Structure 1
Amino acid sequence: MCRWAAYLGEAVFLEDIITAPCHSLIAQSHCAQEAKSPTNGDGFGLAWYGDRSEPGLYRDILPAWSDPNLKSLCRQIKSGLFLAHVRASTGGATSRMNCHPFVSGRWSFMHNGQIGGFEKIRRTLENSLSDEVFDQREGTTDSELFFLLMIDQGLAGDPLGAVSRATGRVIEASRRAGIEPALKLTAAFSDGQALHAVRYATDGHAPTLYTGAFARRAGRCIVSEPFDRDGGDWQAIPPSSFVTMTKAGTDIRPFAPAAAKLAMVVG
């Protein structure tokens, strides 16, 4: 499983979260403590917001700990809202297009988890997308496809509803394929204004998720696991929760998948 961190608040250097702390995201790329595997070396990525509506994006297939460009960028870039991800592949080739975060217009998205039995339901899910959204598909991962499902289900106007309906699509597709739904979904996404996250799993054992204040700064983080266990005020997010973070505060609500109907695939 992957590790990720997201931040919203006063502009800070990306290194303050990604490279500098004792258990930074780069440290977690080779010694994660709350993941099935301690190593997340199948690429990395950053999406950060600045003066433009769409985020900047930098992704590569190198392990995060071995890319000097990443450390240099994190020392120079300041942002009040950014997402960062280190990948441990559960499917899909190690390629730049398969590295998180994924971006569409002003939206960015990253994921820790997987869609169980993905190859058996991939065609059904892809065919359920509108042509306009399907044309955005660049990689081969279940994570990118889930992001596109969210877009197709009205992400721009209803983030919580879009995630709920996309989750319902995955569950319904699994049942139609005759397999037990097995979705693990701990994801973060943003439109450059608010930061959202969801923690859910069909078996009740969702990957970890925390929120916490960023020491010395007017900002908050959402992370897979804390990067500073001694100095941070970390709150574990319960399974089946949806988080919305703005500069005004953090809202945590219950999350459940919506019922879905998928068109039958012919051919």
Structure 2
Amino acid sequence: MCRWLVYSGSPLLLEEILYKPVHSLIDQSRHARLGVDTTNGDGFGVGWYGVGEVPGLFRAVGPAWSDRNLHELAAHVSSPLLLAHVRSSTGTAVQQTNCHPFRFGRWLWMHNGSIARFATLKRDLMLAVDAELFPAMEGSTDSELMFFLALTFGLRDDPPRAVARMVGLVEAVASRHQVAEPVQMTVATSDGSTVWAFRYSTRHESRSLFYSTEIRSLRLLHPEIPALRLISDESRMIVSEPLGDLPGAWNEVPESTCSVVAGGEDLIHAFHPEPPA
């Protein structure tokens, strides 16, 4: 599987988020604690919002822990909204176009999990992608296909419903092919102003996902940490696994939910797939 994180809040250098925490995403690329695989070395990617309409994107096929270009970039790029991912392939090729996050216009998308027996379901799912969107698909992963199905079903207008329709379709196609428990996912997507994060699996035993405690509460819990005074109240993180062991800093995202982060407001809604009509 994979590990990922989202940061939203005060502009920070990427290295402050990717490298400096005790159990940073770079550390998780070698020493994941809660993932299916300890090592996530089948490529990585970073997407960030800053100057311009389209988010920046840097992806590579090597392991994140040894990529000098990533380290150099992280020391010089600052962003108020960052999505980062380290990959452990579930069977598709290790190539740049299969590295997360995936981008379409202002939208970024990344995924941890899999579609069971993807090779069996792939053709039917591909045919459901909008013909105008299809040429923009570059890779061969189930994760990118999930993204383009969500775009087909209205991600740009109503992300929760679009993802619900996407999952509903995957489960319906899997049922026709007698594939049990097809969906396993934690997904993050953003348009540059709002972040949506989903934790769902058909068997209701989803991969780990956590969100950070609000900064004001953390300042009260840990007045001894100066860095907490430098981050704005609206700063938030969503992570596959905690970036350290600071007491009170992390909370588990509930099973079968959609979390929304926008301007420091945190909302968590129940998530249910929507089967095709």
Pairwise TM-score range, normalised by the shorter structure: over 0.9
1:17 deviates by 1.3
Which residue is equivalent to 1:139? 139
Give the TM-score normalised by structure 2: 0.92
Question: Tell me, what secondary structure is at the counterpart of 2:132?
Answer: helix
Question: Tell me, what secondary structure is at the counterpart of 1:156?
Answer: coil
Map 1:118-197 → 2, pairs under 5 A: 118-197=118-197
Segments of 4+ moved more than 2 angstroms:
none
Which residue is equivalent to 2:68? 68
Mean Cα deviation higher: 106-115 or 50-59: 50-59
Which residue is equivalent to 2:113? 113
User: Partners of 2:212 and 2:129 in 1: how far apart?
Assistant: 36
Which residue is equivalent to 1:96? 96
Mean Cα deviation higher: 107-116 or 243-252: 243-252
Check conservation: 1:17, 1:227, Cα contact below 8 A: no
Q: Could you list the runs of 5+ residues in structure 1 that have no partner in the other structure?
A: 262-267
1:231 deviates by 6.0
Q: Could you list the runs of 5+ residues in structure 2 that have no partner in the other structure?
A: 216-226
Check conservation: 1:175, 1:181, Cα contact below 8 A: no
Question: Tell me, what secondary structure is at the counterpart of 1:6?
Answer: strand
- Cα deviations across residues 69-117 of structure 1 (Å, max 9, x unaligned)? 1111111110000100000000210000000000000000000000001
User: Partners of 1:110 and 1:148 in 2: how far apart?
Assistant: 12
1:181 deviates by 3.4
Which residue is equivalent to 1:6? 6
User: Partners of 1:81 and 1:146 in 2: how far apart?
Assistant: 22
User: Partners of 1:109 and 1:14 in 2: how far apart?
Assistant: 18
Letter in 2 for 1:54: V
Asked if residue 244 in structure 1 is aligned to residue 257 in structure 2, the reply is: no
User: Partners of 1:222 and 1:10 in 2: how far apart?
Assistant: 15
Q: 1:24 to 1:231 in 2, by over 3 A?
A: farther
Question: Tell me, what secondary structure is at the counterpart of 1:132?
Answer: coil
RMSD: 1.1
Asked if residue 228 in structure 1 is aligned to residue 276 in structure 2, the reply is: no
Map 1:18-33 → 2, pairs under 5 A: 18-33=18-33
Give the TM-score normalised by structure 1: 0.95
Question: Tell me, what secondary structure is at the counterpart of 2:53?
Answer: coil
User: Partners of 1:150 and 1:130 in 2: how far apart?
Assistant: 10
Question: Tell me, what secondary structure is at the counterpart of 1:119?
Answer: helix
